[in-house]
Amino acid sequence: MWADKGFEVASEQFKLPVSTLPVEEAKVTSPVKVSQDAQSIKVAGTGFAVTFDKNTGLMSQLMKDGVNLLTSDGSPKLHLWRAAHRNDDMWANRDWEKFGINNLKNTLVDLTVETVDKCTAKVTSTIKYDGKEGFGAYHISTYTIKGDGSVKVDNKIDFIGLRINLAHIGVRMILDKKLDRMTYFGRGPIENYSDRKSGADVGLYELGVNDQYEYEKPMDRGNHEDVRWVKFAGTGNSMPDFLINSDENLMQFSALPHTDEQMFPVEYKIDLPVSTATVFCLSTKTLGVGSNGCGPRPLDKYMVWSDNSQFTYTIQLLQSK
Contact 106/181 with Cβ under 8 angstroms?
A: no
> 3-state DSSP call for residue 23?
coil
> What does the alpha-carbon distance between residue 217 and residue 211 come to, in Å, rounded to a whole number?
17
If DSSP codes are grouped into helix, strand and coil, which group holds residue 3?
A: coil
Supply the DSSP symbol for 318.
P
The contacts of residue 153 (CB under 8 Å, 6+ apart) are 76, 141, 142, 143, 144, 312, 313, 314, 315
DSSP character for 118?
A: T
CA distances from 276 to 40, 203, 206, 257, 273 (A): 26, 30, 21, 7, 9
pLDDT higher than threshold 70 for residue 194: yes
- All structural domains of the chain, each given as residue ranges with its CATH number in brackets, are 33-317 (2.70.98.10)
* Statement: residue 235 has pLDDT above 90: no
List the one residue out of 176, 204, 194, 201 whose CA is nearest residue 13. 201
pLDDT, tens digit, for every residue of 34-72? 999 999 999 999 999 999 999 999 999 999 999 999 999
Report yes or no: 62 and 75 within 8 Å, Cβ to Cβ.
no
What does the pLDDT read at residue 295? 66
| pLDDT (mean) for 256-281 | 96
- Give 302-305 contacts, CB < 8 A, sequence gap 24+: 302/193, 302/194, 302/195, 303/165, 304/165, 304/166, 304/167, 304/168, 304/169, 305/163, 305/164, 305/165, 305/166
Which of 206, 208, 244, 234 has the alpha carbon at shortest distance from 321?
A: 234
Is the CB of residue 171 less than 8 Å from the CB of residue 76? yes
pLDDT tens-place string over residues 143-176? 999 999 999 999 999 999 999 999 999 999 999 9
N-term to C-term CA, the chain: 47
Q: What is the pLDDT of residues 2-43, one digit of tens each?
A: 889 888 888 889 888 888 777 777 788 899 999 999 999 999
Longest dimension (CA), the chain: 73
Specify whether the CB–CB gap between 156 and 140 falls below 8 A. Answer: yes
Q: Averaged over 86-92, what is the pLDDT?
A: 79
